[in-house]
Structure formats: structure tokens, C-alpha cells
């Protein structure tokens, strides 16, 4: 595996570019002083000291000697698993704390708050954010209108697997109208209560999902954006439209 790939994975694990450089170069050097590491990494020594402190806090550097002859040694790569284990533990603790404050946050309102909102999201991460929000719906069913080229084409297979697994674990049901059958087996299994658009309904290019008092609209894959309308009136209207289409839709 080349260094670029290794660096990319370490970045996903939470290391900064400078931390990755110092850690990898330090592994090659072995026990070294800050000056040697600075020269090897082509970073100024003051910055190297800061980076070493950060790596030490992550458990990836040990040091020996005193301030006049201090030696730094990178911990073996197996310690990276310990780092991720601590991050996972911290994340679980933070998640528990968030759960306790969500009701309080939801009760925070201001006089200027409007009854209806529209939120826009861009890029693959934005689309995933909308899909994640769908998993946190209050009701137990969503309604979906799905064109040939749809949101599942842009989020990646690993995210599809995660999303379908989470949806199943939360017992979220659906009714969906598809322009054409989807060839992916996992999606077929997950969307069993589905029908197909009437013959005279052609060329709709956006995926629409109705849940709670929200309507999420995902653009065609080539545009990579989504928006969510939160409105009692608008969601009720779109539900009525969906029900009309559902009654006209073809059974599989």
C-alpha cells in the first residue's frame, strides 16, 4: 500500500496532515530528537514540538530524557487501534449526552421562528445528511416517489447497506412508487410494498420522500443537491398527491 493511501486512511482516523507526516517519518527514523524529526519532515522545529505533543496525547508518541536531550519514539502502528477504541468510547459517551439534551433543545423556540422552513444541502455528504435525518423520523412510515436515476445511485454501496440496516433496526416501513424496478437485490428486499408509476407518468427526475411533516427532494444524480421542506400544509398536500398516484400505480 502506498503512502498516499496510508495517509488518507490515517486522516479518516482523525490525524491531521502534520501528525501523519511526523508519525510516518518518525517511524522510519526510530528514536530521534526533535531536530532530526524536523529535518526529516521538512517542518520547523517549533511546529514539530506541537505536533509531537498532540501525538503523545493520542498515545502515538513516547519520549525519554530531559529537555536538553529529549528523544521521541513513535509507538507501533498497532496503537492506532487503541486510538480508535478511545474515540469510539468518547463518541458513545457524547451520544448518550446528546440524547439527554435533545428534548430540551427541541423546546427552545424564538418569537421569530417561522412555522415552515426550507433547508438546502449540497454534495454527497449533504444528501447523506438528509437520508440520515429520515432515519430519525417520528412516524413509522415514509412515502417515496423514485425515478430511474435516483438517490441510491450517488451515496455508494456501503452507505446503502448501512442505511437499509438502520432502517430495518428502527422498524421503519414504506410505500413507494418506482418509475422502473431497481435491479439491486438489497433495495428490492427493503422496498417490498412498492408499485410502479402509471404509463402516462414519464420523465420525472427527482426522488421525493414524504415523512412526518417534511418533504425531502433529491436532485437527479448529476446535480448532487437536496432540499427539505418542513411544513404541515405542504406535506399534507404532497401526501394527498402521493395517495392519488398510489391508487393509479401499477402492481408488480
Q: What is the pLDDT of residues 69-94, one digit of tens each?
A: 789 999 998 888 888 888 888 888 88
As a whole number of angstroms, the distance between CA 69 and CA 175 comes to: 69
Indicate the DSSP class of residue 66: -
pLDDT value for 115? 67
Provide the CATH number for the domain around residue 139.
3.30.870.10
239: domain range? 117-248
Provide the CATH number for the domain around residue 37.
1.10.10.10
Same domain flag for 138 and 213: yes
Same domain flag for 75 and 122: no
183 SS3 class? coil
List, for residues 144-168, the tens digit of each pLDDT value: 998 888 888 888 888 999 999 999 9
List, for residues 87-130, the tens digit of each pLDDT value: 888 888 888 888 888 877 777 755 545 568 999 999 999 999 99
- Provide the domain count of the chain: 2
Q: What is the pTM of this model?
A: 0.58
Residue 4 · residue 74 · CB < 8 Å: no
Amino acid at each position: 500500500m502506498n503512502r498516499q493511501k496510508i495517509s488518507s486512511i490515517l486522516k479518516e482516523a482523525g490525524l491531521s496532515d502534520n501528525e501523519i507526516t511526523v508519525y510516518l517519518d518518525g517511524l522510519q527514523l526510530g528514536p530521534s530528537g526533535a531536530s532530526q524529526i524536523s529535518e526529516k519532515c521538512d517542518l520547523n522545529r517549533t511546529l514539530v514540538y506541537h505536533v509531537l505533543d498532540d501525538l503523545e496525547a493520542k498515545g502515538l508518541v513516547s519520549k525519554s530524557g530531559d529537555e536538553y536531550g529529549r528523544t521521541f519514539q513513535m509507538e507501533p502502528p498497532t496503537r492506532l487501534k487503541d486510538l480508535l477504541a478511545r474515540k469510539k468510547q468518547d463518541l458513545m459517551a457524547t451520544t448518550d449526552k446528546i440524547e439527554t439534551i435533545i428534548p430540551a433543545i427541541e423546546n427552545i423556540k424564538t418569537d421569530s421562528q417561522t412555522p415552515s422552513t426550507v433547508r438546502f444541502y449540497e454534495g454527497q455528504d449533504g444528501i447523506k445528511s438528509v437520508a440520515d435525518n429520515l432515519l430519525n423520523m417520528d412516524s413509522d412510515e415514509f412515502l417515496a416517489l423514485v425515478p430511474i436515476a435516483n438517490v441510491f445511485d450517488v451515496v455508494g454501496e456501503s452507505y446503502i447497506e448501512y442505511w437499509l440496516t438502520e432502517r430495518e433496526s428502527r422498524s421503519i416501513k414504506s410505500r413507494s412508487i418506482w418509475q422502473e424496478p431497481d435491479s439491486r437485490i438489497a433495495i428490492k428486499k427493503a422496498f417490498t410494498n412498492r408499485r410502479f408509476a402509471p404509463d402516462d407518468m414519464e420523465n420525472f427526475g427527482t426522488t421525493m420522500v414524504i415523512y412526518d411533516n417534511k418533504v425531502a427532494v433529491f436532485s437527479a444524480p448529476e446535480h448532487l443537491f437536496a432540499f427539505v421542506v418542513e411544513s404541515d400544509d405542504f406535506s399534507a398536500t404532497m401526501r394527498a398527491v402521493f395517495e392519488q398516484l398510489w391508487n393509479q400505480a401499477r402492481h408488480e
